[in-house]
Chains A and B, each alone.
Chain A
Amino acid sequence: MNQTMKPLTANTPLVEIQELRVTFTGGAKPVHAVSGVSLQLHRGEVMALIGESGSGKSVTLRALLRLHSERHTQTEGRIVVAGHDVVQMSQAALSQYRGAVASMIFQEPLLALDPVYTLEQQITESIRRHEPVSSGQARARALELFEQVRIPSPERRLQSYPHELSGGMRQRAMIALALACRPQLLLADEPTTALDATVQIQILLLLRELQQALGLGVVFVTHDIGAAVEVADRIAVMYAGRIVEEGPVRSLIREPRHPYTQALLTSRAHGAMPKGVRLATIPGAPPDLSEQIPGCSFAPRCAMVQAQCRAEQPPEFNIAGHHRVRCIDPSIKRATATPLSVLTTPQSMTLP
């Protein structure tokens, strides 16, 4: 499949992102969509990136496949996926990498699938692009994939065009296409947001099951904390282009440390809330990413803000059990302050 792949030890993470910065330069003012994201994902692990619109979660995900327009995007930092340097690789290597090492499922399968080809044509094209197999073998594999994602009467459905399927079936077909070349990393961009609750849970369970059966690494972007809790091993919470908190799903949900994560969890209507109780809210709105502010981006909306928060970007602290948080609130019990490069990187400190 890929000859350039370096031998990897069991401890090498499948995905290693270091200090990723993505700036869109197409508009009047540059937009700093991602400002210093570092992340590791191990094989067989599911990471959910959660956050509001404009938090940089989808931009981070797309950077993993280098999907942003090269002309209008400035990408800095390092992204290594299974030994491949995504930021530096050539166009030829990139098209080998996409699909075979990492592939993506999108929110709206009707837009992501080609309307003028049958699903079988699309899947076999993708297989034969990456593997030297006959069209018969590719068709057999397409059928196997459709069975794997549990599409009823798969032979018939393979001959369908995308518009002939229902929303849930289309998303299953999209997953089959993404898995066609046996990737190690599956990226999912809000895969269930456009679906009904009854279908959403089916797709989430299918993703979880396939991930376990195939040992995939998954990065899953969602704004729905419930969906993240259903499938993720770890959750990273993003705000204004940075990860503000990241940790194992249990400790993040039960003991959220960052004021933003806490507010996000308490502001949702849930279960049997007594009538008439007001929802806790976060005042204000997410910041404008074309204007960089010196301090913590959440400071203007934070209930526990201190003078220091507005002055400088808070460092990242490790707390027990692989849980890290970017907040200086002294009530957060921290194990050690990480001497992260964030603190010393000049551009994170220089101000416009």
Chain B
Amino acid sequence: MNNAPPIHHVDVGGKSPPLLRVRRLRKHFPLKGELFRPRKVVRAVDDIEFEVLKGETLGVVGESGCGKSTTARLLMQLTPADGGEFLFDGQVIGGRELPLKEFRRQAQIVFQDSFASLNPRLTVLDSISFGPQVHGVSSAEARKLAQDLLDRVGLDPVRFGGRYPHELSGGQRQRVNIARALALNPRLVVLDEAVSALDKSVEAQVLNLLQDLKQSFGLTYVFISHDLNVVRYMSDRVMVMYLGEVVEIGDSESLFANPRHPYTAALLSSIPSMDPDQRTEVPALSGDPPNPINPPPGCRFHPRCAHASAICHQAVPALTSVSLHHRVACHLHIRGSGHPQAPIG
């Protein structure tokens, strides 16, 4: 296969503007209601705003139910949003400049369950070449492309091309899913817990592969995982979510080294220690993540927070810059917020 880098897309707005800009994104799932009572909703994603920069890896972390995967599905337009705007390289998704079909060529997703995301009746080559054919590539060319991609993700096309998903191991299937995601030469790839189901030794192989592919295809990743060590290793920036909101977003190293939000700090200190002489003595948080049906008023984290004060029960903290590339939604860090430990404004 030729190793020449594929043709890069023309950046519409130049290199500096973000590849994806998300504003006031909201998704509420209605619950089955009782008669004559207002319907309850699960506030899965509640007015979040963030940007994905060109060529970066944005890590997304949080407990289950925090809205990580819903955000991924909304980004991919797999679930209709209840509100919010997306700008993909300055263009409205689904608008005249960027029709949905064209957006879907440029953005792809890899899911956690490698088996469920492949059609069991298609061979590996058929699965990978399906997308390009939908977009008008001839079947012979699409197969050639699929063979090249299989080779690229470390699977011998002669040995594996004709196999069905059940004939592959989990790691091999995830490689196929990655190859399929790349078949349309996308710019953005969302990895939703893509390595979580793999064994550690296989996970390392796939992480290395993802790094290599990012380089050679000039990709931008949104990397969702509950494994904080992996997120730290992969990401340039990290976004921390809690109950459908973004509580902290910033440069990966500064966020991991100096977490500002008490929730981020608690999340990071829940990583098991690798030193038998420095075991964790007290859990950083007690109880399970609360239910997103009836989130607490004010700061949603206040019932579990060690620093909560009166203001945290009442006012919702806005995302505020604490340094150049680091924003946090916590009254502790908002000048003049009324929190006793906040900087005085």
Contact = CB atoms under 8 A, between A and B. Distances in A.
Interface in B117-164: none
Given A198-B283, A199-B288, A264-B200, A269 B272 contact: no
Contacts of A269: 204, 207, 227, 229-230, 232-234
Nearest to A228: B272
Contacts of B171: 285
A227 B279 CA distance: 10
Contacts of A118: none
A166 B288 contact: yes
B38 interface: no
Interface stretch (B17-25, B181-189, B263-271): B263-271
B63 interface: yes
Given A52-B200, A205-B283, A272-B257, A281 B274 contact: no
A272 B267 CA distance: 16
B200 A267 contact: yes
A280 interface: yes
Contacts of B205: 281-283
Contact of B272 (A226, A280, A281): A226
Contact of B266 (A167, A169, A198, A225): A198
Contacts of A229: 272-276, 279
A263 B207 CA distance: 15
A53 B203 CA distance: 13
B208 interface: yes
A227 B204 contact: no
A198 B234 CA distance: 21
Given A169-B288, A205-B280, A226-B274, A196 B64 contact: yes
Contacts of A280: 204
Contacts of A273: 232-233
Nearest to A283: B205
Contacts of A168: 287-288
Contacts of B279: 229-230
Contacts of B285: 198, 202
B199 interface: yes
B200 A223 contact: yes
Nearest to A268: B200
With a 10 A CB-CB cut-off, give which of A197, A202, A229, A276 has the most chain B CB atoms: A197
Contact of A282 (B201, B229, B277, B286): B201
Interface string A242-267: 00000001100100000000011001
Q: Is the interface of B mostly helix, strand, loop or mixed?
A: loop
Contacts of B226: 196-197
Given A52-B200, A269-B207, A249 B63 contact: no
A56 B74 CA distance: 40
A249 B276 contact: yes
Contacts of B41: none
A271 interface: yes
Nearest to B234: A269
A349 interface: no
A166 B257 CA distance: 31
A229 B272 CA distance: 8
B169 interface: yes
A196 B63 contact: yes
B283 A202 contact: yes
Contact of B201 (A227, A267, A271, A275): A267
B61 to A, nearest CB: 9
A78 B220 CA distance: 55
Contacts of B277: 250
B213 to A, nearest CB: 13
B79 interface: no
Contact of A201 (B236, B275, B283): B283
Contacts of A264: 200-201
A168 B277 CA distance: 26
B201 A263 contact: yes
A271 B229 contact: yes
Given A230-B272, A273-B233, A285-B202, 16 more contacts: A168-B288, A196-B226, A223-B199, A225-B200, A226-B271, A229-B274, A230-B280, A253-B274, A253-B276, A269-B232, A272-B257, A273-B232, A278-B211, A279-B204, A281-B201, A285-B169
Q: Which 6 A-B pairs have the closest CB atoms?
A: A226-B272, A269-B233, A52-B199, A267-B204, A166-B288, A279-B204
